[in-house]
Structure 1
């Protein structure tokens, strides 16, 4: 196996662009090409991070944000699975519900905020509901598309061998739609991290979104950049976890990426 095909090389290559960007960032800040009040140097961001960590404030902000994202993800995923399966397998439900869902999908996230504050108050229920909406639509759309895109010849093979009802769904539909579902879950999780910022504007006193907004209000760009970097890091970590889960669910799936390089 070539060194360029090794996992270590691939990981190192993934760090190359971020390191170059961080180096350019630090150079632009310390040399005065960019004003420090607009783009603070990395050492100031590091000091801000360590101060927040030492005080225990950062751990509390991270804990509540991760809780909100996880809760919203689970709720949005559960509803998306139910409606996606119903609308995918049964035309009646698809004709009944899908037009409304496709219309609601185009409403911007911030447009839900005043309505949820009015209906659910400023506490956790409204925040988790908003995140769940962000998670719901990517999962639902990918699952619905995956079910409707299953090869009819595959289903006919199941019919020929006597598979009907739930057995047909379990042995034929479900494996065929799993790749689409995994993609939807990854997209939904990333939307959960995006929507949590909007959710934490709704009267929150804790969370990375609140921390970022507080940095803007008080004119502390280092706080804003620290929050953004943490969003990027934890979003990437959860996405990696989802990729790992997808690889376990789709261990049987024959992918081009797993093809020996000499065969391409």
Structure 2
């Protein structure tokens, strides 16, 4: 019995490093293959520069201060747009999920606007707000609002009725009912909406900064394209990919932290 427990612990100890390495295995293989193909001349630098050339370009732009400046501007636009759009989406989803009257009054109109591609609004937003910061932030806000809204609305409106009845039987107040039953039950769905909104946030920002901007990572890519600077173009694409991955990891960390009670409940079951 003791030997089997020791063996099980050893397997778990070996399994943990493997699970941490596996997600990075495929990207590392692709980068190595990319570098080897460039070194051996299989891949022309005019088509796709080598990872080492892209890395050197990143070092050069960092030392000049251009990359940190534009990266900070993009992060600012993305964060503010997400907070505004996500906040509005959460409030509307909460109100419509909790109130049948509000749902009948507003949800149909919101769903109609949700089906309009938000990137199609770029000409209208430029006409209204120009090409300053408010235009880019507004576009990000519109893009991130609807994923948060639809998931918040669905999460709150689809809470198990038996849980609601249980709360009523314990004579919980409306505030207690929301914070102890409705919100915890809807939280997994809300977090899914936030995670999806993070992806929409970066996609929207790329387009906004490419079309009408004089700063930001998208502007760097667009400017580099005009000068046929392939290293900087690829660098900007890689930066967006890294930012997207970091955003997803942050969202997953919040899910693990806020939904820890679910895992505890399953382990105790």
TM (norm. structure 1) is: 0.91
- Residue 178 of structure 1: how far off its partner (Å): 0.8
Match 2:15 to one of 5, 12, 35: 5
Identify the residue that residue 261 of structure 2 maps to in structure 1.
252
Aligned residue for 1:209? Answer: 218
Query: 1:107 aligns to what SS in structure 2?
Result: coil
* Residues 49-88 of structure 1 mapped to structure 2, 5 A cutoff: 49-88=58-97
Distance 2:169 2:24 in 1: 51
Partner of 2:5: none
**SS of alignment partner, residue 102 of structure 1:** helix
Partner of 1:125: 134
Name the structure where helix makes up a greater proportion of residues.
2
Match status 1:171 vs 2:180: yes
C-alpha distance in 2, partners of 1:140/1:192? Answer: 14
- When structure 1 is superposed on structure 2, of 134-143 and 215-224 the one drifting more is 215-224
User: What's the offset of the Cα at 1:90?
Assistant: 1.1
Superposed, 1:213-252 pairs within 5 Å as 213-252=222-261
CA distance in 1, matches of 2:212, 2:147: 27
How far is 1:52 from its partner? 0.4
CA contact (8 A) 1:116 1:126 kept: yes
- Aligned mates of 1:160, 1:101 — CA distance in 2: 34
CA–CA separation in structure 1 for the residues paired with 2:96 and 2:225: 43
Shift of the alpha carbon at 1:259? Answer: 5.5
Q: Pairwise mapping of residues 97-176 of structure 1 onto structure 2 (< 5 A)?
A: 97-176=106-185
- Provide the rounded CA distance (Å) in 2 between the counterparts of 1:124 and 1:110: 16
Shift of 1:13: 1.0
| 1:4 Cα deviation after fit | 4.5
Specify every segment of 5 or more residues in structure 1 that has no aligned partner in the other structure, as ranges: none
> Who is 1:42 aligned against?
51
1:54-97 CA-to-partner distances (Å, cap 9, x unmatched) read: 10000001000000011011101110111000111112222222
Change over 3 Å in CA distance of 1:48–1:259 after alignment to 2: farther
Q: Deviations over 1:16-54 (max 9, x none)?
A: 000111122222323333322111111211111111011
In 2: Cα distance, 1:30 partner to 1:49 partner: 19
TM-score normalised per structure 2: 0.90
Structure of greater Rg: 2
Whole-Å Cα distance in 2 between the matches of residues 136 and 203 of structure 1? 22
For 2:41 and 2:119, how far apart are their aligned partners in 1?
36
> Deviation of residue 202 (structure 1)?
4.3
Alignment check: 8 A CA contact 1:200 1:207 kept: yes
Aligned residues: 259
Conservation of the 8 A alpha-carbon contact between 2:119 and 2:139: no
